[in-house]
Amino acid sequence: MTASIKPRVERLAALPAVIVGAVLLRLIAGVGFANYDTLYALAWGGQLARGETPAYDLPIAPTPHPLVEALGVVLYPLGPRATEKIAVWLGFLALAACGWVVYRLASLWFGWAAGALAALILLTRVPILSYGVRAYVDVPYLLLVLGAVLVEARRRAAGDRPAGAPVLALLALAGLLRPEAWAFSALYWLYVIVRERRGPTASASSRQDRAPRSRRALVALTLLAAAGPLVWLLSDLAITGDALWSLTNTRHTAHTLQRITGIANVPEYVPRRIGEILRPPVLAGAAVGGVLSLLWLRRRAIGGALAGAIAVLVFVAVAVAGLPINTRYGFLTAAILCVFCGAGAFGWTRLQDGDRRRRWWMAGGALVLVALVAFAPSQYKSAHRELNKLARQQDIQGDLLALVDNHSISLRCGPVEVPNHAPVPLLALYLKTSPANVVSGQVATVADGTYVDPASKEVETDYVLDAHDPHRPVNVPPGFTEAHDNSSWLIFQRCS
């Protein structure tokens, strides 16, 4: 009875724990706003809600994310400000939930202490925290894939056959955020089919798990595995006439922005990106945990090791496909390594009392903890510096939206020109217009309308997509006169 009640209690505790965690993360971070990619997806969703075709074919437009666009459609009646706020809070909830799932995974394999440490490490990694507070799609994507790993890990721990539909459903949703999930779906589907052909295991815990899946059930699983890519490709086809639009446009944008791509850069940059997320003490702790757990707790460690290996292979495949080797594409690998770092510190708790190996592992775990504590001040400084930078960007963005609220920025005189690409989706969302009506001065100049100019050199340098992106000086268009201003922006207009 106790064994059956405990999982229910854990599931009931998950939701309030995640909500409390999200609130704490928001208070600690002190900042929260939607990033460029998410704003574009919400603006495109607004276009769909108005019956317009989303303007994908714009310079430096990001890869479409169908699930976020669907969210933009649903939230459109609430208005742009509420839409962005909900997206930001969903980002914090996803970040907190990632911590919870990592805790559950590490607890399942290596004990609660390993789980608590793994979750703490994950939530204090600067890139993951930074992307989480800006509502990047990569964090909910990470949550969905980790959730799929957790569901399957619990099934394996119980000796049951593969979960099937629940895992594929989570991966299908993840596949509407990032196409890498398609590979995970395909591999998991293949695993399920192979296991079905081998027949049920003798340890299956229920009659249902011992019975083979019907042909209809297998067809349903196949359709579920294909759902992510089918919806994405059909979406691209319906909107652009090209089912491979997302792939070709992402490659083009990566080339335009001079991003690092290609298999030749994999040996150097894939490890570097993972190292940027975790830093040396966590990598060392994960190495200790990985080696010792595979040696002495192999049945517990093998699932995590396989998940980590597949995550690395998919990361490499992204680079081979000509897509950029971005730090955020390493989040899944980093999360699995956080689990093994927890194992490095506390995996010995899963060994029997009196086992001589415990002393060796405890000694190694102590060294891992010392290294983590020694590096903590540096990690805190990095996080503080990053959050301060984001707070500055949020202030600048707030000043820009204040000018929208008082109608200093509007479409009354024509399109809006901005000095670089960064403000384009934000203004499109809040002006309830196509991003095509907000023109980046990096690619074109408007003859009539509104020009938004930074009020200082600091604003000009702080409010950009990436300081390393190609950038050319822009000036106020001829014939425009100053009409409004605030501490961050000067507004010039020319009405024909």
Q: What is the pLDDT of residues 227-284, one digit of tens each?
A: 999 999 999 999 999 999 999 999 988 888 888 888 888 888 889 999 999 999 999 9
How much of the chain, in percent, has pLDDT values that exceed 70? Answer: 95
More confident residue, 86 or 474: 86
- Please give, one letter per residue, the 3-state secondary structure of 35-46: CHHHHHHHHHHH
Sign of CA dihedral 393, 395, 401, 403: negative
Mean pLDDT of 12-32: 95
Separation between Cα atoms, residue 221 and residue 193, nearest integer Å: 10
For residue 451, give both structure tokens.
């020009």
Q: What is the pLDDT of residue 47?
A: 98
Q: Which amino acid is at 452?
A: V
Separation between Cα atoms, residue 19 and residue 31, nearest integer Å: 17
pLDDT band with cut points at 50, 70 and 90 for residue 44: very high
Q: What is the pLDDT of residues 158-179, one digit of tens each?
A: 888 999 999 999 999 999 999 9
Residues 108 and 67: beta-carbon distance below 8 Å: no
- Class of residue 290 by CB neighbours under 10 A (exposed 0-12, middle 13-18, buried 19+): buried
Residues 418 and 440: beta-carbon distance below 8 Å: yes
Mean pLDDT of 464-489: 84
How much of the chain, in percent, has pLDDT values that exceed 90? Answer: 81
Q: Which residues of 56-92 are buried (b: 16+ CB within 10 A; e: fewer)?
A: bebebbbbbbbbbbbbbbebbeeebeebbbbbbebbb
Mean pLDDT of 438-465: 91
Separation between Cα atoms, residue 30 and residue 21, nearest integer Å: 14
Q: What is the pLDDT of residues 125-135, one digit of tens each?
A: 999 999 999 99
Mean pLDDT of 413-428: 95
Looking at residue 123, the DSSP 8-state letter turns out to be H
Token pair 């000018």: residue:
403
Give, rounded to a whole angstrom, the gap between the first and last alpha carbons of the chain. 78
Residues 467 and 446: beta-carbon distance below 8 Å: no
Mean pLDDT of 396-402: 97
Tell me which residue of 253, 258, 313, 305 sits closest to 57, measured CA to CA: 253
Mean pLDDT of the chain: 93
Give the helix, strand, coil percentages of the chain, each rounded to 5.
70, 5, 25
Q: What is the pLDDT of residue 67?
A: 98
Angle between the N-to-C axes of helices 126-133 and 2-29, in degrees from 0 to 180, rounded to the nearest 10? 80
pTM, entire model = 0.95
Q: What is the pLDDT of residue 1?
A: 43
141 — phi, psi (to 5°)?
-60, -45
Q: Please report how many Cα atoms fall inside a 13 Å half-sphere around the Cα of residue 13, on the Cβ side.
A: 10
Separation between Cα atoms, residue 129 and residue 125, nearest integer Å: 6
Residues 65 and 176: beta-carbon distance below 8 Å: yes
Strands (E) across 181-244 are located at none
Q: What is the pLDDT of residues 65-124, one digit of tens each?
A: 999 999 999 999 999 999 999 999 999 999 999 999 999 999 999 999 999 999 999 999
Residues 170 and 97: beta-carbon distance below 8 Å: no
Q: What is the pLDDT of residue 263?
A: 85
CA 118 to chain centre: 18
Asked whether the predicted pLDDT for residue 285 surpasses 80, the reply is: yes
Q: What is the pLDDT of residue 3?
A: 52
